[in-house]
Amino acid sequence: MTELSEQVASGYAESAAKGEAQASQMNQSAAEFMIGAQRLMFEEFVFYTDEMLERTRIEMKLFTEFAAKMGGAHSVKDIKTMCRECGQHQLDFLHRDSERLFKHGERIIATTSHLISGDPLN
């Protein structure tokens, strides 16, 4: 009987050790996930503020160019040409801005999938 009770006790000890190891690994994974999520949120905040500042700077530059050309226009033909040029500048800006945002979206999706799958972040 003592052998059986010793085997049962050692089985419980091994089982408890495995449970502690699993709990420790789960805690480690949860901590890595939380740190990764915080890092991702901080990076998004920094990206957003940089984008807003850059967009404001470019919009002010485009408006300044528009105002300067409007002041220099002396005929309807000049105004028509100026509107066409400024419209093209605005479309080019929107095209570059959209491409940059799509690339950022791809990067954030990849980062989020790595975070969820448990892969380490770069």
Q: What is the pLDDT of residues 80-121, one digit of tens each?
A: 888 888 888 889 988 988 898 898 888 888 888 887 887 655
Q: What is the pLDDT of residues 48-57, one digit of tens each?
A: 888 889 888 9
d(CA 31, CA 54): 35
pLDDT, averaged across the chain? 81
- Predicted TM-score of the model (pTM): 0.58
Which bin fits 118, alpha (ψ -120 to 50), beta or left (φ > 0)? Answer: left
Token pair 């160019």 is found at: 65
The residue ranges of every structural domain in the chain are 2-117
d(CA 48, CA 64): 24
Determine what percent of the chain is predicted with pLDDT higher than 90.
Answer: 3
The H-or-E segment that residue 66 falls in is helix 2-72
Tallying the residues shown for the chain, one arrives at: 122
d(CA 81, CA 55): 25
pLDDT band per the 50, 70, 90 thresholds, residue 4: low
Tokens for 102, please give them.
């799509």
pLDDT at site 13? 63
d(CA 66, CA 54): 18
